Structure 1
């Protein structure tokens, strides 16, 4: 499912209203497969919540000789194939000894309107990326550049991170708690269910703050 800029803005801004816990509960209530990506960590624990549509890449250890020109192709993909509302999703096929990217790629992606990055690989220039307020979940860190070691082998294909299949245009929500992935075909129903869950939680919290016990607050409608 392809969304135009106006539609992307609508879904991004509405999903950013909710923590990943609400989205996880909503998908569970609806009987959808789990979209919670496990085993990765936020680059910065203070990074802002973000949401975006998956722009997927698959990278692996280089099988072809490095010719000095053909890098991981990530820079050219960011320059020519990303758009407002994308969120980079990079499957690094278990490679964490080298960095799949750093501050320059993050800066360019941010300038292109990319909302953040999710990778099971490593990044470098962590301090600089944190200063950009560019939200990232990642598998590790490494100062080693990837040009001679890694290459991009697929773009805009289903990828697997943290036990979850992520398809192009799936919505990815990231906050300090974790990462939730919502299939593009289920955006409306998951959002509506999340609204119900949050409204109920807000009512319970209000009653607890007024002095009511948690059990009592939960029992009241």
Structure 2
């Protein structure tokens, strides 16, 4: 994280952030001066999950070099930081790899992702590639990458350090930042803004779902999206009418 004491985040913050789309979160961050927080080019592997919310546990790659990472057994190069990361990540954390957008070798494979999943990690994200794409897809574990490759990590990468600021898909990620993933991709929320945007993001998501239904009904964009005062008044009336209905359903 940037210098300073990282704010403690209430469980309700994570719950609210998990209810909204990355598009909604991007809008909320844009309103607060964060122009481009989305990890462009990364896609979810497999269809067995909808998304995740997690705190960043970062891993930084640099190019491998023959005198440091000799060709041979790829699991005995002496560069064990990748294993340390997987054996250290905990619940609510998401491993985020800075692979410099390079897909020439893998950031990890199904063994490491399975172990991270068993440790309770929220997800695994790289701006590079994963090995064992089909096996990872079957895990139904939130995993996002730019590509799939069979090439082992030491062929191209050396793990330089853990839990330091990194860049992932062109976005700065500090340890402890909040990442949210959905079926569209992954967005990075500066930790200091997470609690501030959680409530407004839920409100925006609810409003825009209602507006989407109005557009599907055939309404024109003018006055509907973005909503004018009359449309907002109609929305508030609709929302107020839902409260007695929800109360009635809870008492039945």
Q: TM-score scaled to structure 1, two decimals?
A: 0.87
Q: Give the drift of 1:151.
A: 2.0
Whose Rg is larger?
A: 2
Give, in angstroms, the shift of residue 39 of structure 1.
2.4
State whether structure 2 residue 28 is matched by structure 1 residue 26. Answer: yes
> Following TM superposition, by how much is the alpha carbon of 1:203 offset from its aligned partner in structure 2, in angstroms?
3.2
- Change in Cα spacing, 1:205 to 1:58, as seen in structure 2 (3 Å) is same
2:39 corresponds to which of 37, 40, 54: 37
The counterpart of 2:146, out of the listed 139, 144, 163, is 139
Alpha-carbon distance, 1:205 to partner: 3.2
Computed over aligned residues only, the root mean square deviation of the Cα atoms, in angstroms, reads: 2.3
Residue among 80, 84, 87 paired with 1:76: 84
Q: Is the 8 A contact 1:91 1:120 kept in 2?
A: yes
Contact kept? 1:83, 1:114, Cα under 8 Å: yes
What's 2:130 paired with? 123
Aligned: 1:88 with 2:88? no
1:199 Cα offset (Å) = 2.9
Q: Indicate the SS of the match to 1:205.
A: helix
Which consecutive unaligned segments of at least 5 residues does structure 2 have? 1-5, 233-252
Q: Encode CA deviations 1:97-153: one digit per residue, 9 max, x unaligned.
A: 211211110110001111111111211111111111111221221112124542211
Measure the CA separation in 2 of the matches of 1:212 and 1:121. 42
Alignment TM-score, normalising by the size of structure 2: 0.77
What is the match of residue 168 of structure 1? 175
CA distance in 2 between counterparts of 1:191 and 1:114 reads 21
Find the counterpart in structure 1 of residue 119 from structure 2: 112
For the residue of structure 2 that corresponds to 1:90, the secondary structure is strand
Q: Which of residues 35, 60, 63 in structure 2 aligns to 1:61?
A: 63
CA deviation after TM superposition for structure 1 residue 201, in Å: 1.1
Equivalenced residue count is: 217
Q: Against the structure 1 CA distance between its residues 141 and 202, is the aligned structure 2 distance closer, same or farther, given a 3 Å change threshold? A: closer
3-state DSSP of counterpart to 1:36: coil
Shift of 1:206: 4.5
8 Å CA contact 2:99–2:128 kept in 1: the answer is yes
